[in-house]
Copies of this chain bind each other. A is one copy, B any other.
Amino acid sequence: MIDQTDFKILSLLCGNSRLQWREIGEQVHLTGQAVANRIRRMEELGIIEGYTLRLNERKLGKAMTAFVTVFMKTVDHPAFHQFITEKEAVVEANRISGEGCYLLKVTVSGQDELSLFLDEILKYGNYRVNLSIGKLK
């Protein structure tokens, strides 16, 4: 299905998706065209879902990252899903097992914006917040 060369190509593209096919080809000992064929195939298989940026959120004014565990009090999960989807500050959201119903990763400009966000969460349930003190990885 997908071999070691494909994994190597993925690894290189994750590092820099604007690498030229020729440059990748040099690393995996193929021509650029052969690399292009493999990349297209992984796109078609859905392994590569898209191409995006790595942004420095801090330099965009999002100085604070918080992890918010939500304990739902309502059964209207679809409304919560919609709220989460529309909320730009929520960069990632997972439904989780164990303690809590959802885990949200939130980036905000400061305490004020976080506070406002948490107030909005109260409509759906209670929450626990952990602030990111630093990002290791």
Binding site for B on A (CB under 8 A): 2, 10, 13-18, 45-56, 59-60, 65, 67, 81, 84-85, 90-100, 102-103, 128-137
Contacts and interface: CB of A to CB of B under 8 A. Distances in A.
B56 A49 contact: yes
A95 B13 contact: no
B96 A130 contact: yes
A95 B84 CA distance: 24
Query: Which label, helix, strand, loop or mixed, suits the secondary structure of the A interface?
Result: strand
**Which of A2, A100, A137 has the largest number of chain B CB atoms within 10 A?**
A137
Contacts of A14: 52-53, 55
A132 B69 CA distance: 12
A65 B94 contact: yes
B135 A93 contact: yes
Given A67-B103, A132-B96, A136-B84, A10 B52 contact: no
The 10 closest A-B pairs by CB, nearest first: A93-B136, A96-B130, A94-B132, A93-B137, A97-B131, A49-B54, A50-B54, A95-B133, A17-B51, A95-B134
